Chain A
Amino acid sequence: MQPFVGLPRFDTGKPVVGLWKPVTGMLGAAALALAGGLAVTAPAQAANTITLGAAVQLTGSLANTGRYYRDAYNLAIDQINAKGGVTVAGTKYQLALKILDSQSDVNLGVRQYVQLLTQDKVNFLLGPFSSNDAMDDSSVAEKYQVPMIQGGGASGQIYARGYKYIFGTLPAAGDYFASTIKMMMTLKPAPKTVALIAANDSFDVSVAKGTRELLKKAGLKIVVDEQYPESSSDFSSLLSLTKSKHPDVILWSGHETEALNFIRQAKSLNVNPHLLYSFTVGVPTADFRKALGADANYAFGMTPWLPSPGLKDAWFGDAAQFATLYQTKFGYAPDYHAASAVADVEAFVRAIEAAGSVNPQKVRDAIAKVNFDSLYGHIKFGANGQIVMPQTVIQVQNGELVKVYGTKFYAKPAYPLPPWSKR
């Protein structure tokens, strides 16, 4: 039998000081290493620079979406600088960006936001991706009373705490399915039963809660109402259960990778609702449609943003021009995450110019009052700090993303959903 832990034997014969001497030496070494590493001087900033800071997930499990924020922040700041920067009380300022990689670690993210404020002396904060990260990171903004505008977290929890320094450009999670349900009520044959499936994280629970109320109001019957643990990869039990209840509609809320697994496994288990299914994520992104190929067809989704030339913007011209520029620069298409991130930067510019100052309190009050059109849409924050914005219903038809319904129908939906064998 081998000993499990080969710990150094406890040597009681040794004088105590023998234990301490190397220890104090090493403690000193550790302190030196720390001092050398952390005592970096604040970057020398040009006199007329306003720095925005963010700790974004560039590595780790959320890196796939985190990159939208890094790229969009960079693009927005370059573009704004190229068009003359920010004018504060008659003086021209350039914008700068300081991004740190939070490695998809919430604790590290919080420390990095403190570092951004206290050591790197950034003026204002931009947000990370995901509701959970935004929850923790926005408390740093509140603690230090420096405004943060974030476009990565939609959960109502973020705005339910009465914080004054957090603003967000993603619309409320609870309303994600509102336009979809409104559209459903106008379709023939009319759906009667719904399966509601959601992940159990903050954002998706908020979606499910809001959707439940909307369904009730619309008089639809919920036949399956299940939560699954986030980052699940197997949906076979949930799918078989759903199949046995024969719902007309599946409303599904979760993360992109899970949506992908859900659809693929639905096909392999031959599960589909009679009339339609809709997903909070995935449908707007090109990666998702590419990975699923023809199986992505008929999937409904929603987005607060589409790259349409109708959305005029002071710096990029319009949303379509922005999308082209983004695509050429980074090699992939932007989705609403990227557009919302750009809107965050623009909201800061508008607010700083309106405040005529970089004083955090004054800018905070100005953010609460911003009111302008951007490539992302009309930017105006509610009293709790969250934007109010309708979701447009979209659908994959023949591999293409089609804008289907907002306040009216823009295109004919592919409806009802044919069974897998007939696609």
Chain B
Amino acid sequence: MKIRIIFIVVVVLALLAGVPWYGSASIVQFGIDALLTATLAQGWNLIGGYAGYPSFGNSVFYGLGTYGTAIAMAQFGLPFWAGLVVGGILAVLCALLLGIPILRLRGPYFAIATLGLAAAMGAVIANLGIAGRNNGLILPLFRGDALFYELALGLLALTTLMIYLVSESRFGAGLIAIRENEDAAAVMGVNTTLYKVMALALSGFVSALAGGIHAYWITFIDPGSAFDATLNVKMVIMAVFGGPGTVLGPIIGAFLLSAISEVLAAKISTVAGLFFGGVIVLAVVFMPKGLIDVGYGVRRLGLSYFVQNIRQNRL
């Protein structure tokens, strides 16, 4: 059994890695974007899905990664990898310093604090000279979209591997215990503060790397795009659409939603946003527990699974 799973994973990865050779350039572009978004959703999954702390401010880490990379490259002429390291360190520092006070808050109040944090950080950067203020920074142009694609794929694969390992570990069990009942977890001897901060730092680290790759790929960044508030909502939606607190749910959610939105944008252009909104509304009504749960549910109950969902959640 185990061998079969590993085999499937290797084949899927190999197929995805080969895209730049057999796919068109548009697919590669789409891939870079979808893979980075999936990484963000996966990063959110750790803190939001497993630990049950619904961060609405992971864009703060993404933004710091973006700016760390851009400042290192544009202002100090450092190579790309050094920029990624700088961005990653900034994000982890931010998670450690700000995580402790903010992770004391629960439920929606945590969500709002993170949202506020991301907005405040964006506004701070917009006033910083070294970050080019609100005008942003220009990175050197690099003609190698295949490399960006492979980097993004590698990052997503490693992030997912990390999530898998976490979910199998004592650490992961601790996070789930925190999600289900934090006070009980603390009584049982889980160091809740340490676990939560670690989850946030890991989540922030991968988000920052995604931001760094994106910055070098797009070549021009400004606070508006790096600390984009809709990015926060996007990554949560993708994770929840697929199934939060599962290893593969967020990836599936991210791929599927990115694909839908991309196809809509290409096919029906000006009403794409309208349809995308509609898809989300229908998804929440008919599959409030995410796609992964639909997989189980439909096998068990057939189409009445959807009816049952509505029965359960309506007033």
Contact = CB atoms under 8 A, between A and B. Distances in A.
A37 B259 contact: yes
B77 interface: no
Contacts of A9: 180
Given A17-B1, A22-B299, A111 B141 contact: no
A202 B137 CA distance: 11
Given A22-B299, A59-B273, A201-B135, A136 B218 contact: yes
Contacts of B270: 58-59, 101
Nearest to B2: A16
Contacts of B267: 37
Contacts of B266: 37-38, 40, 100, 115
B74 to A, nearest CB: 11
B284 interface: no
Contacts of B48: 5
Contacts, number: 173
A105 B265 CA distance: 11
Given A7-B52, A26-B291, A115-B29, A38 B126 contact: no
A100 B269 contact: yes
Interface stretch (A27-35, A281-289, A341-349, A413-421): A27-35
Interface string B18-31: 00000011110110
Interface residues of B, number: 69
A337 B304 CA distance: 55
A142 B141 contact: yes
Nearest to A1: B107
B256 A23 contact: no
Nearest to B289: A8
A8 B126 contact: no
A169 interface: no
Interface of A: 4-10, 16-27, 29-31, 33-34, 37-38, 40, 58-60, 100-101, 103, 106-108, 110-112, 114-115, 117-119, 132, 135-136, 139, 142-143, 157, 160-161, 163, 200-202, 205, 227, 229-230
Sorted nearest first, the 7 A-B pairs with minimum C-beta distance are: A22-B295, A37-B263, A118-B25, A4-B107, A200-B134, A34-B259, A101-B269
7 contacts: A8-B293, A16-B2, A25-B295, A38-B266, A106-B225, A136-B219, A200-B126
Given A29-B256, A34-B259, A38-B24, 13 more contacts: A23-B248, A23-B292, A26-B256, A37-B263, A38-B27, A59-B273, A100-B269, A101-B272, A110-B218, A111-B30, A114-B26, A136-B219, A201-B134
